[in-house]
Amino acid sequence: MAKKLTVDDAKQSLTAHVAAKGAEIREKYGNSIGWTELLRILEDRAFVRYPCKIQFDDKSLRQGEFGFPVPNGDLPEDGFTMFVHPFFSTQLDRVPYLVLYQLVSVNYGEFASSDDAEAFGAAALGLSRDAFYQEVCALADALL
């Protein structure tokens, strides 16, 4: 008799999947993902399921929030605007950390967790999850 999958099994499976997708990004776009590579990734439907553009504007962000994807319409196919705090508009080399962290929300919606975001971003940038997490926290702390 086959084992019944649990919610925990599904969560672990999604985390493994997003980590594999992150590794594929690194393989395709190289060891150094900067602003130019990030823009190319956002256009690549193999990695970003729905259209997504970046806008440096904090009007849709909560206090202390560095970025968040906002749907452009009722359907995911309408695309998303990834609002990034304008503080980072002069630090384009840091923006990939912020956007990669949020991309799992674009691709997987409410099913994505912070663990998934860390696994995806870390794999895409070739970092340990701990190092990626520390960098994202440092960037978020810069807004305080």
Where exactly are the structural domains of the chain? 12-141
* pTM for the whole structure: 0.92
Looking at beta carbons, which pairs linking 90-93 to residues 24 or more positions away fall under 8 Å?
Answer: 92/34, 92/35, 93/34, 93/35
pLDDT by residue for the chain (144 residues), tens only, comes to 667 767 777 788 889 999 999 999 999 999 999 999 999 999 999 999 999 999 999 999 998 899 999 999 999 999 999 999 999 999 999 999 999 999 999 999 988 999 999 999 999 999 999 999 999 999 999 998
